[in-house]
């Protein structure tokens, strides 16, 4: 999956910190500053050593399988832990409060499994910069960006 991003910081070890562009952030600048909302940055690899400056727009390649696995680990493993502990608790416990408590313990155990898996497997592979976007490509992306699925920026 190829995503457009904006360069925020260039690091020395072939990595770059980028953020997703948010055209609607300009419209809600006052409320974003009130709530102190900051754009999240994340690292990406720059294996071709493209010459980049802060504010440049680049296209990155995000591994789809890795994204699906990460979403499963974050959302489904704790849910399965809740259901498993709640189900096992129903065999031994009669109180609804204790059943709920056992389910919450299973939810926490599922989150703990996520932490352990990330600790032993590592953070995974970083997205890779594919190319620096041209000014025409940047204008095309910023023009719509309303999820119309027909232009390059949305679809």
pTM for this entry: 0.66
For residue 60, which of 22, 20, 12 has the smallest C-alpha distance?
Answer: 20
pLDDT at residue 30, rounded to an integer = 61
pLDDT at residue 115, rounded to an integer = 92
CATH class for the domain made up of 2-61+126-143: mainly beta
E strands of the chain, at which residues? 2-10, 15-19, 42-45, 57-61, 128-132
CA distance 47 to 61: 12
Q: What are the tens digits of pLDDT across the range 34-61?
A: 677 677 888 899 888 888 888 888 888 8
CA distance 14 to 151: 31
pLDDT at residue 56, rounded to an integer = 87
In the block, residue with structure tokens 């991003």? 5
CA distance 58 to 93: 56
Q: How deeply is 114 buried, as exposed, middle or buried, from its count of CB atoms within 10 A (0-12, 13-18, 19+)?
A: middle
Please check whether residue 115 is in contact with residue 34, taking contact to mean a CB–CB distance below 8 angstroms: no
Q: In this model, does residue 155 exceed pLDDT 80?
A: no
Least confident among 3-12, 76-85, 93-102, 134-143: 134-143
Q: What are the tens digits of pLDDT across the range 93-151?
A: 889 999 999 999 999 999 999 999 989 988 778 889 988 888 777 777 766 655 555 55
* CB burial string 30-64: b at 16+ within 10 A, e below: eebeeeeeeeebeebbbeeeeebeeebbbbbeeee
Crossing angle of helices 77-92 and 96-121, rounded to 10°: 140
All CATH 2.40.50.140 domain ranges of the chain, comma separated, are 2-61+126-143
138: which 2 tokens?
A: 């940047």
């Amino acid at each position: 999956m190829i995503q457009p991003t904006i360069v925020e910081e260039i690091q020395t070890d072939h990595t770059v910190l980028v953020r997703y562009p948010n055209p609607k952030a300009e419209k809600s600048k006052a409320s974003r500053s009130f709530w102190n909302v900051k754009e999240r940055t994340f690292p990406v690899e720059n294996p071709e050593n493209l010459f980049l400056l802060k504010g440049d727009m680049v296209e990155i390649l995000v591994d789809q399988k890795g994204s699906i696995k990460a979403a499963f680990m974050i959302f489904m493993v704790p849910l399965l832990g809740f259901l498993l502990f709640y189900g096992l608790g129903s065999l031994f416990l009669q109180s609804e409060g204790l059943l709920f408590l056992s389910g919450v313990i299973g939810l926490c155990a599922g989150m703990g499994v996520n932490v352990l898996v990330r600790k032993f497997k590592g953070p995974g592979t970083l997205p890779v910069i594919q190319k620096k976007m041209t000014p025409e490509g940047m204008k095309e992306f910023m023009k719509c960006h309303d999820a119309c699925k027909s232009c390059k920026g949305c679809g």
